[in-house]
Chains A and B, each alone.
Chain A
């Protein structure tokens, strides 16, 4: 039973446009949410996070939105750049529990 779902395996956008990556979760105990970025042959690297007391967190071109009532979060990248092409993992955590990861979405930004 997947507690964290990324329903789009892949996404392709044009350079300069917005990329929106989506993530749904089922466990209402989750109170911390993170996005990781992974390039081929490298480990995932932390990108941005949000706690359940917020509904938005920004860091430069990256913004994460949290909709607790819908158990949904999204990552917006504006403007998208070719260097953003990677696999993006959503991860969630509740209390003292370990992170639970989604299956990832492969983003391709075309020049």
Chain B
């Protein structure tokens, strides 16, 4: 009963490097999301997807890209890492809006850009 799995848990990047944060879920949820959480701040939505092949921008999409080729996987790509992208990243999945249990979150990826 894995739920939402994120890898890696920690990563240090140099400015200008690229990386992909992996997210996979085994609950057959159509909806998936990427959030970032900065210290003292709430969760800000980066990108989301309502199903395979469909993605859309959230509140803070600049500097990121996503793809959704399968229902299970929703990777987040950072192309040119910047210090402003130092944050904790959470992936989540859900049934359609209004479901009583809301979103299921992964355990997060802590990213530091130096």
Contacts and interface: CB of A to CB of B under 8 A. Distances in A.
Interface of A: 4, 9, 32, 34, 36, 41-46, 49, 89, 91, 93, 95-99, 101-104
Contact of A103 (B42, B101, B104): B42
Contacts of A9: 40
A20 to B, nearest CB: 20
Q: Interface size bucket, B side?
A: 20 to 34
Contacts of B97: 32, 93, 95-99
Pairs of residues from A and B, 4 with the lowest C-beta to C-beta distance, nearest first: A43-B105, A103-B42, A101-B43, A101-B42
A106 B4 CA distance: 24
B90 A43 contact: yes
Interface of B: 4, 6, 33, 40-43, 45, 48, 58, 90, 92, 96-98, 100-108
Given A42-B108, A98-B45, A99-B102, 5 more contacts: A43-B106, A45-B105, A96-B97, A101-B43, A104-B42
Contact of A46 (B4, B90, B102, B107): B102
